Amino acid sequence: MYPLKFKPILKERLWGGTKLKDVLGKPIDSDITGESWELSGVQGDISEVANGPLEGISLKELIVDHGEKLLGKSVVERFGTEFPILIKFIDAKQDLSIQLHPNDDLAKERHNSFGKTEMWYIMDADPGAKLIVGFNKNVEKEEYIHSLEKGTLLELMNYEEISEGDTFFINTGKIHAIGAGTLLAEIQQTSDITYRVYDFDRKDKNGNLRELHTSLAVDAIDYELKDDFKVAYANKKDVVNTMVDCPYFKTNFLDLDGDLYQDISKRDSFTIYMCVGGEATISNDWGSAAIKRGETILIPACSSNVNINTHGAKLLEVTI
Residue 205 confidence (pLDDT): 78
Residue 19 confidence (pLDDT): 98
Enzyme catalytic residues: 196
What does pLDDT average to in each consecutive run of 10 residues of the chain (320 residues)?
97 96 96 97 96 97 96 96 96 96 90 91 97 97 94 96 98 96 97 90 83 92 95 96 96 98 96 98 97 98 98 98
39 touches 27 (CB < 8 A): no
Residue spans in the chain of domains classed CATH 2.60.120.10: 9-218, 241-319
| CATH number for the domain whose boundaries are 241-319 | 2.60.120.10
Supply angle C-alpha 8, 117, 126, rounded to 5: 60
Residue 271 confidence (pLDDT): 98
Instruction: Indicate the class that CATH gives domain 9-218.
Output: mainly beta
Residue 210 confidence (pLDDT): 86
